[in-house]
Chains A and B, each alone.
Chain A
Amino acid sequence: GDSVTQMEGPVTLSEEAFLTINCTYTATGYPSLFWYVQYPGEGLQLLLKATKADDKGSNKGFEATYRKETTSFHLEKGSVQVSDSAVYFCALGSSASKIIFGSGTRLSIRP
């Protein structure tokens, strides 16, 4: 069945460092791909999405490119801030029209 695998955390970085959180997927067909973010004490929010191969989703300085050849959707940001500390979930819209979430990656940014 459809699944999402993302890098385990926690990930700890210094402010202004470059961020990559890896995400790969297994799916039939061509699903939409998403990154959600969960800030402390809050529910999940959609951060960005891409609906077809080679699409790049972007928001708040974060980017991710839908790579069909490597079945990946890695999240990147050039210069992280303390306010980016959160849990990040990679997800896909499955063929059964549901969202499949990865296990989440906790990110902590040191001042």
Chain B
Amino acid sequence: EDQVTQSPEALRLQEGESSSLNCSYTVSGLRGLFWYRQDPGKGPEFLFTLYSAGEEKEKERLKATLTKKESFLHITAPKPEDSATYLCAVQKTGANNLFFGTGTRLTVIP
């Protein structure tokens, strides 16, 4: 059965305290793994797509990595404006839709 599990459910960090969010997946035939950011009352906002194990992508304080079983979203020296829910989703080969995890709610305290 296809599954996407994100951990932790919630994470509180002090400003400047680096950490990582985890997304583990079980899917038959991965086409791509997507990271989104969601602010309260808003829709998910695209961050990264990863396609193959070993791939890494960076954007400002965020870096996403992918292995055959999981992806990590590393946050370096976070700021309060990085507070949001981070969603991981997978797309199966031959499919159009995304299959989402339940997200990690990140709070960065000044």
A and B bind? no
A residues touching B (Cβ–Cβ < 8 Å)? none
